């Protein structure tokens, strides 16, 4: 898969293999905490020490709903953009997104990676491991999924920085 800036400054995703297309479709579902407390608390960490009770209460009431809405909106943007994914004559996928959607994509990809990392309690050592394992467990496959999302994030950041 390649990600580059198009002629009208849009971001073009091209040469998308079927497995990559499936992983892209899984961004939004993967970002759903699904009642997992670790994932939920990672998406919404406390903004201050526990003795700052008033601040924490106000945050819970006023800020957290806004953050939830922001995260939901980012995932919806990704879902909508992915509906434009088509196949070229080689059977590889392609689609493009407005440059203004870049932040939503980075946000949704980050949500997915953070939720997966929290749900599977990956260690820092595992997250920085590059060698493929000898046998793939579900945990290894999730790590691959997270690394793929990290790669997409890196390419998006590069493409966005080039256009500054």
Q: Footprint of other proteins on this chain (CB under 8 A)?
A: 43-49, 55, 63, 66-67, 70, 106-107, 110-111, 113-114, 117, 124, 127-128, 146, 150, 153-154, 157-158, 160-161
Residues 6+ apart with CB under 8 A from 142: 116, 120
Tell me whether residue 22 or residue 154 sits nearer to other proteins (CB atom). Answer: 154
DSSP readout, 24-82?
Answer: HHTHHHHT--TT-HHHHHHHS--SS-TT-HHHHHHIIIIIHHHHHHHHHHHHHHHHHHH
Instruction: Tell me how far, at minimum, the Cβ of 90 lies from other proteins, in Å.
Output: 30
Q: What is the 3-state secondary structure (H, E, C) of 86-101?
A: EECCCCCEEEEECHHH
Tell me whether residue 96 or residue 111 sits nearer to other proteins (CB atom). Answer: 111
Tell me whether residue 6 or residue 65 sits nearer to other proteins (CB atom). Answer: 65
Instruction: Tell me how far, at minimum, the Cβ of 111 lies from other proteins, in Å.
Output: 7
Instruction: Tell me how far, at minimum, the Cβ of 115 lies from other proteins, in Å.
Output: 10
40: Cα separation from own chain's centroid: 15
Tell me whether residue 75 or residue 93 sits nearer to other proteins (CB atom). Answer: 75
Residue 75 sits at the vertex; the CA angle it makes with 160 and 35, to the nearest 5 degrees, is: 135
Instruction: Tell me how far, at minimum, the Cβ of 29 lies from other proteins, in Å.
Output: 17
Strands in 93-97's sheet, in edge-to-edge order, are 2-5, 11-16, 93-97, 86-87
Instruction: Tell me how far, at minimum, the Cβ of 140 lies from other proteins, in Å.
Output: 17
Tell me whether residue 92 or residue 147 sits nearer to other proteins (CB atom). Answer: 147
């Amino acid at each position: 898969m390649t990600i580059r800036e198009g002629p009208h400054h849009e971001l073009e995703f091209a040469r998308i293999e079927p497995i990559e297309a499936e992983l892209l479709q899984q961004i939004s579902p993967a970002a759903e905490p699904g009642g997992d407390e670790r994932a939920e608390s990672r998406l919404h960490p406390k903004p201050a020490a526990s003795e700052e009770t008033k601040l924490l209460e106000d945050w819970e009431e006023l800020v957290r709903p806004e953050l939830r809405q922001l995260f939901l909106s980012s995932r919806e943007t990704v879902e909508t953009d992915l509906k434009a994914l088509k196949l070229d004559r080689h059977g590889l996928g392609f689609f493009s997104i407005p440059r203004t959607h870049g932040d939503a994509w980075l946000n949704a990809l980050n949500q997915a990676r953070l939720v997966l990392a929290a749900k599977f309690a990956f260690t820092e050592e595992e997250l920085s491991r590059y060698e493929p394992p000898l046998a793939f467990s579900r945990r290894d496959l999730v790590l691959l999924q997270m690394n793929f999302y990290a790669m997409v994030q890196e390419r998006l950041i590069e493409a966005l920085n080039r256009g500054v």
